[in-house]
Amino acid sequence: MPNQIYPSYLAAAAPVKVIELAEYARRYHLAGRFLGAVLFEGVTGTCLDNVAAGMLAMAVQSGKLQKGKPIIEASSGTFGAALALAGRRLGHPVYLVMPLTVDDERQHLLRCLGASIFTTDPLYGRDGCLKKARQLAQENGGYFVNYFDNDDNPEYHRRVTGPALLAGCAGELDYIVAGVGSAGTVCGVAEYTKARTSRIKIIAVEPYECSVLSGGFAGKHGIPGLGPGFIPANYNDAVIDGVMTATTTEALKTAQELLQLEGIPAAPATGAVVCAARKLMQQPENAGKRIVALMGARQELF
């Protein structure tokens, strides 16, 4: 067998691995084929390492990101961490804007990853961070990624995740279930899929406590990575066939079950998606259907 030497750690990670969730399906007596698509291959334990790298590659290709210019984002979370790593590998400084209330440990971690931190008055919330990020981009000739409102986000999933998912399932699917954070994953996959078949339905998942997509109110929840509390500009409801919710308690319970039954170190966001997919399959009209849950984040155990 010929040796395969990859150009980087991320290149060696498959964008999608489709697996059977057989033990979980047996616990709940699911009549059908219950699948999980594992996306969390990167350093951050999410699909965002590859997304950040892919978005920056597209920005370079389109001329939006000039050589040596700073990359700027309003983020203190996982995408900010992924962006710091990806930007540093490309030789760009990365500026992350966040409220002053973000804890010192988080800020220290992001600095260790190579980011420069800029803080804003928490009174102005996300709008204040966006304003500061745009200002930094203008002053420094930098590239403001604007992850929640940048078509390169779903475009990555149109180019990579969607094709890999359909190939992994041989196109034999009835439902794709995915969580909504920035909405890039669910909508990019949906747009790719629906351009090729009208048979597969797409279900978006959000926290029950923060069900803005379902017409409810924004609220606090314990499912990091889902439910930002607003409808992202990347969200395209024309390609979504339904929205389901999972409570924080359900998400945590399902994540624990996935670890115990399947050996999958699932984060609460993955637990929420799998919980919603299970409830979908339990509906009588879906007996015998083939459903795949997009599992976008892992839980750090140690």
Q: Global pTM?
A: 0.93
| 13-22, 99-108, 215-224, 272-281, range with the lowest pLDDT | 13-22
User: pLDDT tens for residues 284-297?
Assistant: 999 999 999 999 99
The answer to whether the beta carbons of residues 78 and 86 sit under 8 Å apart is no
Mean pLDDT of 218-227: 96
Per-residue pLDDT tens digits for 73-121: 999 999 999 999 999 999 999 999 999 999 999 999 999 999 999 999 9
For residue 178, give the H/E element and its range.
strand 175-179
The two three-digit tokens of residue 185, written as one number: 């994953």
- Evaluate whether 155 touches 58 at the Cβ level (below 8 Å): yes
The C-alpha atoms of residue 191 and residue 193 are separated, in whole angstroms, by 5
CA distances, 256 to each of 22, 157, 177, 250, 285 (Å): 16, 28, 19, 10, 28
DSSP 240-264: --EEEEE-HHHHHHHHHHHHHHH--
pLDDT in tens, 109-136: 999 999 999 999 999 999 999 999 999 9
Does residue 32 surpass a pLDDT of 60?
Answer: yes
Q: Which residues, at least 6 apart from 57, have a Cβ–Cβ distance to it below 8 Å? A: none
Residue environment code for 107-124, b if the CB has 16+ CB neighbours within 10 A, otherwise e: beebeebbbebbbbeeee
Do the Cβ atoms of 225 and 185 come closer than 8 Å? Answer: no
d(C-alpha 204, C-alpha 174), whole Å: 14
Q: Coil, strand, or helix at residue 184?
A: helix
Task: Provide the β-strand partners of residue 71.
Answer: 94, 143
